[in-house]
């Protein structure tokens, strides 16, 4: 890279690469007119020809490969990368993604208006949302259920995208989605209730280390609401995200999610008009509006009107545009001759090096869930192998994957590997082939037969002759013309429902919920029936029994690999959560039928999320899981199954049992609900961090540098890992901490650190970790800050969250926590220690949290432990009550069984109209007590304050 030099005399200062970045940005911003600045607030920022400034678009999708721009290297899904627990590998994958993004940016100029700026160097990745609920439709996009693990893998991905140059970025990573986004059903109107401990210890904890490290350049706000307030107007953008970023020396560029600014008015009805909502979003910290597609006029017009109405000031616009310009300078837009990444050519896309990396990444993410010694396979003992199932010879793309440049399926990968070893392979899909014959006309639907695959709550019908999927068209007609399923709206899924006559079925399209109807005159079939009475009755004719064929193949084989799992575009995807974690019934039946005739059966599960594998774990000798691993999936799985590669992956989330009743999807309180390995009380099927190896590892000599530390100290932890088996292998050493004397509800375990180590047979290695006292901290609701309580802790070295192998005690010294001060100090209602029947809501549209009863007809309670009531004689409470409603609205305060006060809550006329109501205490209690507040009827409570006598 050439050194910066002063610009020519006739060039403005912003063109001078020798000037400090801030001065260059300031200079360019000052040269833009107000209209030009406002125009830059839209996703499609127009060019400014008079200054030689090009157009700019925010956002290219780059989650596990360059998406939507054509053929590009496809790496494992994010959850698969998380399963690798390998930060260096993830960094290399992200580097490859950003290199290909650079190649697209330079060598694929947009052709159509709709393609304008599509190859932006701002990468909308990684996703740091935590995998709290395995039923989340976008589970595949996250790394882990644990914030430490997620932050570490996320930072590695960011650094790979950004590159190593101190001045210029290869690509600009944007963290998704801020904040607490983990459900798809009604995602634009549901609120994620985050008590302060969950907010700070869990959801923010995944984002904070990545931002503080300077690894991210931006963030995207989430669709959902948090505590009743849409994320796009959340004060947390400024109070947390930007506060973390300031010490890095660069601004954080925050973008909206698609159409989310308009959602503030339309589905959410949080503001009365779009002008007000767009102004609020800008002031809250949204710098770029991804709204109305390429129609800049609508959102820019709203912002211009907001300026005219005085809802925003020019300074608000300048702040947002400044952040965009800083990012564009860092991406080398204004210094093409100095940008070290400007010369990347198209030959890097799907290069041999990237193919090899894709194969390695896919292999490293494979998790061996169970193995009774059957794996690795020995072709000498099992020369005839049958691969059976819907994913035996198929690879799938997800919504955020690139277009596969080629496909190596499991069957193809195993066939090639077995051929080298003298083995044979047969492939059977195991799908029924059926005809659907109209009871009205006697005609067969489509005049063809269909292969039927059950994906769970939906099935696909694929033409047996052409292999094309049956699809519902805009006019309701049915045509088998789709080679792949990859569109925002999936028109290729159906249900066959009993007609009620015991003989026939109804054909229903999932996309519209409508039934197939046959015109009795012309015989035309269309999905236009709104109810079963209008629907055609179809005779389901079984022409080929897929399960019987699978059983026959299994019986003739020496070993069977059953390939099951999900289709990433069906039953669990963006906009659609799963109802449960069960395997699709058809797939479960296929597995059991095959295993009954061939005990030597391996289940290879390829999925975007966990399933309940109770029967498989209890009856099969081996179970393997991988995410959708991209173009090299088949080679990677063959490598692992045949022992050419070690199963080096470990689970990044808990796999629950089928009979384990999971918390409600919208219960975001991991502490009280019992989510994740930290708080779930029932032993799972497979624990967080679980994964087996082909070799054996021994842990010994756990040592702490000292037996106790103070609350500002640290401790060195050392452990010896030895490979005692006959093969080389990888082990993920997991270091957890546990509080033994906690006065709060502490996690059962909490991941503090981890290290992936590869050892040869007989090799041993001493691994050292440094644990700072802050890694033992919890969010103290009494002080509103992280704190480390003194007392006993345990350092746990484990193979997974349910398999500790070594423990060591550690004592933290310091003064005992003082009782909570409530006299002459305002206490936020949301800072409770425990609660029941409560919902957290917004105190105002711009800031603050409050609480209200979830059901106004039932009391809600708040518990504040160890409260010092000495000297208290009266209480003042901040309340809001929109209308009289039903029943008497009052707040009851008790210390133990002692009634302290009852406060009548007046009507204020609006949920954001707050008033302070006081009451004298019925009894004066000195000392420390547990304080309980009970809310009767539907009012809002923001805070309370006890006062001493005058």
Beta strands in 612-713 (DSSP E): 622-626, 697-704, 708-710
Pairing between strand 191-192 and 225-226?
A: parallel
Instruction: For residue 147, give the DSSP letter.
Output: H
Q: Are 48 and 38 in contact (CB under 8 A)?
A: no
| Cα separation, 923 vs 168, whole angstroms | 67
Residues near 523 by beta carbon (within 8 Å), at least 6 away in sequence: 438, 441, 443
Q: Are 946 and 929 in contact (CB under 8 A)?
A: no
| Cα separation, 495 vs 538, whole angstroms | 12
- Please give the backbone phi and psi of residue 555, each rounded to the nearest 5 degrees, phi first: -65, -30
Pull the structure tokens for residue 337.
């001759």
| Cα separation, 440 vs 370, whole angstroms | 51
Instruction: Centre a 10 Å sphere on the Cβ of residue 11 and count the other Cβ atoms it contains.
Output: 11
Q: Are 689 and 734 in contact (CB under 8 A)?
A: yes
Continuous segment of H or E residues that includes residue 796: strand 791-800
Pull the structure tokens for residue 614.
């109770």
Residue indicated by tokens 């409600």: 664
Pull the structure tokens for residue 164.
């190593």
257 is catalytic: yes
Query: Which candidate, 581, 649, 583, 648, places its Cα nearest to that of 616?
Result: 583
Query: Which candidate, 802, 804, 653, 649, places its Cα nearest to that of 730?
Result: 649
164-193 in b/e form (b: 16+ CB < 10 A) is eeeebbbbbbbbbbbbbbbbbbebbebbbb
- Please give the backbone phi and psi of residue 447, each rounded to the nearest 5 degrees, phi first: 55, 40
Pull the structure tokens for residue 765.
């290695």
CA 74 distance to own-chain centroid: 19
Q: Which of 16, 146, 257, 339 is catalytic?
A: 257
How many CA atoms lie less than 13 Å away from 143 in the CB half-sphere? 30
Instruction: Centre a 10 Å sphere on the Cβ of residue 819 and count the other Cβ atoms it contains.
Output: 16
SS3 sequence, 559-621?
EEEEEEECCCCCCCECCECCCCCECCHHHHHHHHHHHHHCCCEEEEEECCCCCECHHHHHHCC
Instruction: For residue 414, give the DSSP letter.
Output: H
Pull the structure tokens for residue 716.
């060195």
Residue indicated by tokens 């040869």: 760
Pull the structure tokens for residue 733.
């050493």
Give catalytic residue positions.
257
């Amino acid at each position: 890279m050439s050194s910066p030099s002063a610009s020519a005399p006739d060039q403005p200062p912003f063109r001078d690469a020798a000037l400090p970045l801030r001065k260059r940005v300031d200079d360019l911003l000052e040269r833009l007119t107000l209209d030009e600045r406002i125009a830059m607030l839209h996703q499609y920022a127009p060019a400014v020809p008079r200054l030689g400034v090009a157009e700019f678009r925010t956002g290219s999708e780059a989650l596990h490969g360059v998406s939507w721009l054509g053929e590009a290297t496809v790496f494992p899904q994010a959850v698969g990368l998380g399963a690798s627990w390998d930060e260096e590998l993830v960094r290399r994958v992200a580097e490859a993604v950003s290199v290909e993004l650079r190649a697209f940016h330079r060598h694929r100029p947009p052709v159509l208006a709709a393609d304008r700026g599509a190859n932006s160097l701002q990468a909308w990745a990684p996703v740091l949302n935590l995998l709290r609920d395995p039923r989340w439709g976008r589970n595949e996009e996250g790394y882990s259920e644990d914030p430490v693990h997620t932050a570490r893998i996320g930072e590695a991905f960011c650094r790979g995208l950004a590159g190593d140059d101190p001045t210029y970025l290869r690509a600009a990573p944007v963290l998704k989605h801020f904040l607490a986004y983990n459900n798809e059903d009604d995602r634009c109107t549901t609120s994620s209730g985050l008590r302060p401990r969950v907010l700070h210890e869990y959801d923010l904890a995944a984002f904070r280390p990545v931002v503080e490290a300077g690894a991210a350049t931006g963030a995207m706000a989430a669709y959902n609401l948090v505590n009743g307030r849409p994320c796009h107007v959340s004060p947390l953008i400024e109070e947390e995200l930007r506060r973390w970023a300031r010490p890095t020396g660069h601004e954080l560029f925050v973008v909206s999610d698609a159409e989310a600014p308009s959602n503030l008015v339309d589905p959410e009805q949080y503001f009365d008009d779009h002008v007000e909502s767009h102004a609020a979003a800008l002031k809250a910290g949204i710098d770029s509006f991804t709204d109305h597609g390429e129609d800049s006029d609508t959102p820019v017009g709203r912002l211009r009107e907001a300026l005219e109405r005085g809802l925003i000031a020019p300074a608000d616009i300048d702040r947002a545009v400044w952040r965009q310009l800083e990012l564009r300078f860092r991406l080398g837009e204004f210094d093409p001759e100095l940008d070290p990444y400007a010369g990347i050519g198209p030959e890097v896309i799907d290069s041999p090096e990237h193919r090899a990396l894709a194969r390695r990444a896919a292999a490293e993410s494979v998790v061996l869930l169970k193995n009774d010694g059957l794996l690795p396979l020995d072709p000498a003992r099992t020369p005839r192998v049958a691969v059976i199932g819907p994913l035996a010879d198929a690879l799938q793309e997800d919504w955020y994957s690139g277009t596969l440049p080629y496909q190596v399926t499991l069957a193809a990968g195993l066939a090639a590997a077995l051929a080298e070893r003298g083995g044979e392979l047969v492939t059977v899909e195991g799908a029924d082939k059926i005809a659907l014959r109209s009871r009205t006309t006697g005609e067969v639907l489509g005049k063809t037969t269909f292969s039927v695959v059950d994906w769970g709550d939906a099935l696909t019908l694929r033409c047996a002759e052409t292999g094309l999927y049956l699809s519902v068209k805009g006019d309701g007609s049915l045509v088998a013309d789709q080679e792949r399923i990859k569109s925002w709206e999936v028109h290729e899924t159906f249900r066959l429902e009993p007609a009620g006559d015991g003989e026939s079925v109804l054909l229903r399209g999932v996309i519209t919920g409508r039934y197939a109807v046959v015109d009795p005159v012309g015989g035309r079939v269309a999905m236009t029936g709104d109810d079963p009475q209008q629907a055609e009755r179809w005779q389901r004719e079984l022409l080929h029994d897929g399960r019987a064929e699978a059983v026959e193949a299994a019986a003739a084989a020496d070993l069977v690999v059953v390939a099951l799992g999900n289709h990433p575009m069906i039953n669990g995807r963006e906009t659609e959560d799963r109802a449960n974690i069960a395997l699709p019934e058809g797939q479960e039946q296929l597995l059991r039928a095959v295993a009954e005739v061939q005990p030597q059966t391996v289940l290879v599960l390829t999925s975007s999320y966990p399933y309940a594998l109770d029967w498989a774990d209890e009856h099969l000798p081996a179970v393997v899981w991988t995410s959708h691993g991209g173009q090299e999936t088949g080679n990677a799985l063959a490598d692992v199954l045949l022992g050419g590669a070690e199963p080096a992956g470990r689970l990044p989330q808990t796999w629950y049992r089928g009979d384990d009743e999971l918390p409600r999807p919208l219960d975001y309180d991991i502490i009280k609900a019992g989510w994740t390995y930290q708080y779930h009380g029932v032993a799972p099927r497979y624990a967080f961090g679980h994964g087996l190896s082909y070799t054996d590892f021994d842990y010994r000599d756990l040592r702490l540098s000292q037996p106790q530390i103070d609350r500002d100290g640290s401790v060195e932890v050392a452990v010896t890992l030895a490979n005692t088996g006959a093969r080389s292998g990888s082990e993920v050493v997991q270091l957890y901490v546990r509080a033994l004397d906690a006065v709060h509800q502490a996690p059962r375990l909490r991941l503090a650190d981890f290290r992936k180590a590869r050892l040869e047979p007989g090799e041993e290695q001493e691994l050292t970790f440094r644990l700072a006292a802050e890694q033992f901290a919890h969010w103290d609701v009494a002080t509103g800050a992280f704190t480390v309580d003194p007392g006993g802790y345990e350092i746990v070295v484990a193979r997974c969250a349910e398999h500790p192998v070594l423990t060591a005690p550690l004592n933290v010294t310091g003064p005992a926590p003082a009782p909570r001060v409530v006299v002459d100090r305002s206490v936020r209602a949301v800072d409770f220690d425990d609660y029941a029947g409560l919902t957290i809501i917004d105190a105002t549209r711009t800031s603050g949290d409050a609480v209200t009863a979830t059901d106004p007809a039932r009391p809600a309670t708040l518990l504040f432990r160890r409260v010092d009531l000495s000297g208290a004689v009266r209480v003042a409470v901040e309340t809001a009550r929109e209308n009289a409603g039903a029943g008497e609205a009052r707040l009851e305060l008790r210390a133990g069984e002692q009634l302290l006060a009852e406060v009548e809550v007046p009507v204020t006329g609006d949920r954001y109209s707050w008033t302070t109501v006081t009451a004298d205490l019925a009894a004066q209690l000195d000392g420390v007590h547990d304080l309980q507040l009970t809310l009767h009827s539907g009012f809002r409570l923001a805070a309370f304050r006890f006062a001493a006598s005058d």
